[in-house]
């Protein structure tokens, strides 16, 4: 794959983009998208010859890195054999993808409903829960992201919800645990867990347990801050759901398929939900694919009763072929184990060492290849480097410094997330940490 500079081609691509492409989450006249020439492994590059270490995994989805040859070959082979077939047919690659996913999900989540991505997975999980229970309300947490479609955006607990929140979608938000910025004035993980569960119990009591269809949680919240829940919290939510007949939905769109060093983040907490949503890492985003893993009890609801939902491209053969190849490659090459090891031995220790030397770092937290660095103006008060739901000069300067150092970061509000491909080598991780070190020196200049 050529990495030779070709600025003229890059300029033409940029011009066509600006003329015709409408970008998501953006003020169209204020953006300057990078024209990408290619990618491989942990890197991508532009037409000017600049190469970037991808510490974002794009949108935290290229878990097996860019252009994995086994997955590319599987897509090519499937395209030559059967490009598409309607979801009502049985086809080998769809069945095999479902089998491989079900084999790895916790508990009895053995039925797989395929979607085109994570938001649609959440939409359908909520629909299943409401139909299964006959109840209207769904609870979700502040500091969460579940997608940009109608129900998913209302479930979301970050500012992207605000322009689309009608306050009529049957969604009630509550506080999930986050000790560093505890809404419960907790001082220990044990206190945070206990008080967060009590708060959830109170919310359910005042909303009416018999009105609540589901509680939807990201197992480890992703874009909102990679906040690993304290021990006992998710099992506590499971017990509350069981007691009130509420469907427990875990959103593993971002945290699933090796990202945390396990096949699913739920495996860290010994908890099985009733429904589990996935996307992104299932095939590293090579072809759009997501889905819902469904428990036996909820699947039985639709044994004789039609499920009122579907998608033209549900279980698309090209997407399923890429999922089969991805899951097999992850198993054969020890990619999940690599994420766990690199996180424990290189990324985690490296970030903690940076935190000791940089006054702008308030906290580092994470698992596997899934970490967040909280940037602050004042360590004592924990004031964010930029205000909530805002950008600012400090984070703009930090991001620019990362890119100048050949590192492509994942930045959200006052945080940078360290979320490289799960295939990252020790040397690549150390290269990224060195670039991050230099960029944090820039962030330090904004500390009061």
Q: What is the CA radius of gyration of the chain?
A: 22
What is the token pair recorded at 251?
């959103």
- For 258-281, the pLDDT digits (tens) are 999 999 999 999 999 999 999 999
CB within 8 Å of 198: residues ≥ 6 apart: none
Which residue numbers in the chain have pLDDT < 70?
A: 1-2
The single-letter DSSP state of residue 361 is E
- For 215-261, the pLDDT digits (tens) are 999 999 999 999 999 999 999 999 999 999 999 999 999 999 999 99
Cβ pair 402, 443 in contact under 8 A: no
Q: Kindly provide the residue ranges of all beta strands, DSSP E only, lying in 118-252, ordered along the sequence.
A: 137-141, 171-174, 212-218, 247-251
User: Looking at beta carbons, which pairs linking 98-104 to residues 24 or more positions away fall under 8 Å?
Assistant: 98/315, 100/323, 100/324, 100/327, 100/328, 101/278, 101/282, 101/291, 101/293, 101/323, 101/327, 102/293, 104/263, 104/264, 104/327
* Angle, in degrees to the nearest 10, between helices 317-333 and 92-104: 40
What DSSP assignment string belongs to 49-60?
A: S-EEEETTHHHH
Name the residue among 282, 242, 260 with its Cα closest to residue 107: 242
Is the model's pTM score more than 0.75?
A: yes
pLDDT at 2: 56
pLDDT at 4: 84
What DSSP assignment string belongs to 89-144?
A: S--HHHHHHHHHHHHHSSTT--EEEEESSHHHHHHHHHHHHHHHH---EEEEESS-
Domains of the chain from N-terminus onward? 7-67+334-444 (3.90.1150.10), 69-333 (3.40.640.10)
CB within 8 Å of 268: residues ≥ 6 apart: 260, 262, 367
- Tokens 């050949």 -> residue: 406
Cβ pair 28, 190 in contact under 8 A: no
pLDDT at 22: 97
> What are residue 367's phi and psi, to 5 degrees?
-150, 145
């Amino acid at each position: 794959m050529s990495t030779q500079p070709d600025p003229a081609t890059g300029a033409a691509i940029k011009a066509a983009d600006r003329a015709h492409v409408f970008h998501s989450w953006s003020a169209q006249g204020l953006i300057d998208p990078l024209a990408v020439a290619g990618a491989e492994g942990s890197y991508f590059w532009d037409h000017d010859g600049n190469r970037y270490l991808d510490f974002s995994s794009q949108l935290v989805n290229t878990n097996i890195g860019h252009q994995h040859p086994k997955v590319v070959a599987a897509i090519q082979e499937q395209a030559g054999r059967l490009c598409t077939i309607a979801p009502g047919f049985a086809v080998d690659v769809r069945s095999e993808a479902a089998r491989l996913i079900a084999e790895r999900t916790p508990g009895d989540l053995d039925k797989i409903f395929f979607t085109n991505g994570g938001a649609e997975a959440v939409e359908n999980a909520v629909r299943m829960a409401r139909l299964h229970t006959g109840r209207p309300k769904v609870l979700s947490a502040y500091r969460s992201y579940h997608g940009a479609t109608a129900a998913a955006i209302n479930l979301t607990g970050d500012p992207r919800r605000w322009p689309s929140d009608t306050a009529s979608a049957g969604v009630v938000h509550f506080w999930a645990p986050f000790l560093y910025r505890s809404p419960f004035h907790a001082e220990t993980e044990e206190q945070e867990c206990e008080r967060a569960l009590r708060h959830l119990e109170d919310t359910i009591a005042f909303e009416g347990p018999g009105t609540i269809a589901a509680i939807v949680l990201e197992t480890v919240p992703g874009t909102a801050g990679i906040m690993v829940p304290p021990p006992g919290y998710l099992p506590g939510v499971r017990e509350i759901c069981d007691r009130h007949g509420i469907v427990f939905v875990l959103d593993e769109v971002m945290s699933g398929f090796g990202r945390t060093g396990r096949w699913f983040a739920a495996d860290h907490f010994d908890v099985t939900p009733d429904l589990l949503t996935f996307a992104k890492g299932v095939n590293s985003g090579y072809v759009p694919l997501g889905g819902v893993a469904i428990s036996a009890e909820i699947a039985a609801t639709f044994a004789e009763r039609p499920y009122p939902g579907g998608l033209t491209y549900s279980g698309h053969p090209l997407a399923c072929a890429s999922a089969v190849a991805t899951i097999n490659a992850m198993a054969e090459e020890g990619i999940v184990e690599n994420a766990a090891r690199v996180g424990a031995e290189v990324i985690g220790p490296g970030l903690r060492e940076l935190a000791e030397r940089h006054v702008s770092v308030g906290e580092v937290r994470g698992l596997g290849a899934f970490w967040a660095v909280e940037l602050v103006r004042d360590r004592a008060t924990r004031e964010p480097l930029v205000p909530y739901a805002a950008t600012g000069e400090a984070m703009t300067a930090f991001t620019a410094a990362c890119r100048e150092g050949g590192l492509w970061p994942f930045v959200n509000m006052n945080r940078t997330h360290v979320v490289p491909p799960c295939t990252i080598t020790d040397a690549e991780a150390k290269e990224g940490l060195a670039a991050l070190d230099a960029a944090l020196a820039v962030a330090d200049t904004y500390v009061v």
